[in-house]
Structure 1
Amino acid sequence: MLKLVSLALLQATLALASCSNTDSTQKFKPIFDGKTLNGWEGDTTYWSVENGAIVGKITPATLLKRNTFIIWKGGQPADFELKAEFRISAEGNSGINYRSERLDDVPFALKGYQADMDGGKRYTGQNYEEKGRTTLAYVGQQTLIPPSTGTLADGIKNNAWSPMQVTRSLGNADSLKMNIKDGDEWNEYHLIVKGNRLQHYVNGVLMSDVTDNDTVNGKTKGWIGVQVHVGPPMKVEYRNILLKEE
């Protein structure tokens, strides 16, 4: 009898856990339909849909003078989680911007936090603030950004925000980058953005973790978009883009 009761209890526990996981998954909603660019806005010279993915492409005939984005028009999330699969060519440079501002004087340009990525696995996973404070955490770093005491020009040194304080190591950067798949394989970005804490996971591994106490330059909500970067011909693909707002 005791064994039967224990078995029933175990089955009930597993069923409850399964329901909980299902409910959690259901909170994520697709923000890309896999077929069209409906709900997104960008320059179609660079953006299209191919094989169920948003594709950003630069060719020798369409080289960029400035970075350009395709921007999700569905809102300006504050606290959220975002998941997206991506793959990028060897020479590619891209990223997922969030809590970003649109620039009035430059079409399809964003200023704000970015989950960085590149085909050479130099930047993938770091937190880079586009058109702002630049690098807020390199791969393998947990950082604290203190309140602002000066101008952007004063704070930026060697393409990084010099006031940032490294509070903990998340692991050796080269070892962490080994979790990033090469070539035609798909990777997954998972962003957890809550309050002033910004966590970037790649393939389930925490790559950077920023706590931003700079209320002058930091943002609490804003636009989401994905980027193609100035540079040589490249291709980046995004699919299964899911958002869960808090």
Structure 2
Amino acid sequence: MKNSSLLLVCYALIFLSCSTEKSENTLTKQEIEAGWELLFDGKTTNNWKTFNGGAVTGWKVINGELHNSGIGADHGGDIISKKQYTNFELYLEWKVTPESNSGVFYHVQEGLTDVIYESGPEYQLIDDKGLPTELEGWQHSGANYGMNPPQNAKVKPVDEWNTTRIIVKGPHVEHWLNGTKVVEYELWTDQWLQNKAASKWAEVPDYGMAKSGHIGLQDHGGLTMFRNIKIREL
């Protein structure tokens, strides 16, 4: 009798553990009630399109992960969300292969430029330690690329998943990396305009000026993998 009771307790604990474990690329009831929506369902690229183009090509969905094409014959280019956002909180998980380089964009507008990084600001994703050349501060993971270097950023090894949060509310922007706020800035202020004038965007008038737009994922160099991409409007 005692052994039977013990077995029942063990089965109950196993069932509870399985029932409370959150699956990848899904939303909990609490997240749905809080307004979160999935941008990637783990199976398709239905919520995405090619920047300045049509259907997504080159990118692959493998074991519930969204892989960019990297460098090769099937290079697909950057992709953007079909929906546009103004104020939002974006969450995603990512990892890169050695010497890879990618990014996450927001407030992207099509038709203004041929390259996505001249439209919306970029949250940088990169193999911080594996590249053969030394990086500038604003090139490290978590940076507002070309503008603001991350502070106290701790990137995980290339074979482990990192977590990213981008919060945009009016002009206020925050970059979070693995639970730490690493960048904070105010768009369109005198200080931001001064920083822009002193950066590689000095001759790019449309950079960062839109107040709403698409979320973008970069297909730049090497392989980057994404999962659990979700967003809620603020």
Give the Cα separation in 1 of the matches to 2:31 and 2:40.
21
| Conserved 8 A contact 1:115-1:124 | yes
Give the Cα separation in 1 of the matches to 2:31 and 2:58.
37
Q: Tell me the secondary structure at the aligned position of residue 127 of structure 1.
A: coil
Q: Tell me the secondary structure at the aligned position of residue 68 of structure 2.
A: strand
The equivalent of 1:239 in structure 2 is 227
| Conserved 8 A contact 1:34-1:239 | yes
| Conserved 8 A contact 2:107-2:213 | yes
TM-score by length of 1: 0.64
The unaligned stretches of length 5 or more in structure 2 are 1-28, 130-138, 194-204
TM-score by length of 2: 0.67
- What is the CA distance between 1:72 and its match in structure 2? 1.1
Q: Does 1:207 align with 2:182?
A: yes
The equivalent of 2:111 in structure 1 is 103
| Conserved 8 A contact 1:83-1:189 | yes
Q: Does 1:58 align with 2:35?
A: no
The equivalent of 1:193 in structure 2 is 168
| Partner deviation per Cα, 1:147-178 (whole Å, 9 max, x = no partner) | xxxxxxxxxxxxxxxxxxxxxxxxxxxxx23x
The equivalent of 1:127 in structure 2 is 144
Give the Cα separation in 2 of the matches to 1:213 and 1:104.
19
Give the Cα separation in 1 of the matches to 2:56 and 2:231.
23
Q: Does 1:71 align with 2:80?
A: yes
Q: Please give the residue correspondences for 1:145-184 in structure 2 after superposition, counting only pairs within 5 Å.
A: 176-177=152-153, 179-184=154-159
Aligned with residue 221 of structure 1, among 187, 190, 212: 212
RMSD between superposed Cα atoms in Å: 2.7
The equivalent of 2:134 in structure 1 is none
The unaligned stretches of length 5 or more in structure 1 are 1-20, 129-134, 141-175
The equivalent of 1:164 in structure 2 is none
- Work out the number of aligned pairs and report it: 177
The equivalent of 1:32 in structure 2 is 40
| Conserved 8 A contact 2:79-2:217 | yes
Give the Cα separation in 2 of the matches to 1:210 and 1:31.
25
| Conserved 8 A contact 2:113-2:119 | no
| Partner deviation per Cα, 1:204-242 (whole Å, 9 max, x = no partner) | 10111111225875221011110011x4xx110110001
- What is the CA distance between 1:110 and its match in structure 2? 6.6
| Conserved 8 A contact 1:97-1:225 | yes
Give the Cα separation in 1 of the matches to 2:187 and 2:125.
21
Q: Tell me the secondary structure at the aligned position of residue 209 of structure 1.
A: strand
Q: Does 1:91 align with 2:108?
A: no
